[in-house]
Amino acid sequence: MRAPITLRGAEQLRAELRRLKSEARPAAIRAIAEARSHGDLSENAEYHAAREQQGFIEGRIKEIEHRLADAQVIDPASLAGSTRVVFGATVQLAPVDGGAEVSYQIVGDDEADIRAGRISVNSPIARALIGKAVWDEVEVAAPGGTRVFEILELSFT
């Protein structure tokens, strides 16, 4: 199954992949070579740490390549004009019981960052929002109990 990701999220993964391949990988190889030059590898903590770091870098490279290969890249701007909440939409919500308005963009799992206002498409609030329209009320099961929000605005940037 192809996992949705925004254009921005795909660009961030590609940038991380480039950095890992062009900077982090060569730095790890240099660190291993430097540690080898210090002699006995069995008791060389620098060598073992450098090998562990190299393993982490190679694992992350494989993970990013896999995620990008399985990704369905969606540019939210191409969805402009939609009247329903869909993946990539930024939704302005007002709690029905009062309180501060909130704004969330619905993004892929890898991009989710609640502090930045980006929620996973698989989160309870995103699942409740998908398919709804402006002025609809949405019930969301939250740890503190059910919350009801009114959708005030949709944007696709």
What would the DSSP string read from start to end of 104-143? EEEE-GGG-BGGGTEEETTSHHHHHHTT-BTT-EEEEEET
- CATH 3.10.50.30 residue ranges of the chain are 75-155
CATH for 75-155 is 3.10.50.30
- Torsion sign, CA atoms 145, 148, 117, 11: positive
Q: pLDDT (tens digit, 9 = 90+) per residue, 38-64?
A: 777 677 788 888 999 999 999 999 999
Find residue 94's DSSP bridge partners: 150
CATH 1.10.287.180 residue spans of the chain: 3-73
The pTM of this model reads 0.80
Architecture (CATH level 2) of domain 3-73: Orthogonal Bundle (1.10)
CB 104 within 8 A of CB 93: yes
Residues in the chain where the model's pLDDT stays below 70: 1, 41
Q: Which residues pair with 149 in a beta bridge?
A: 95, 138
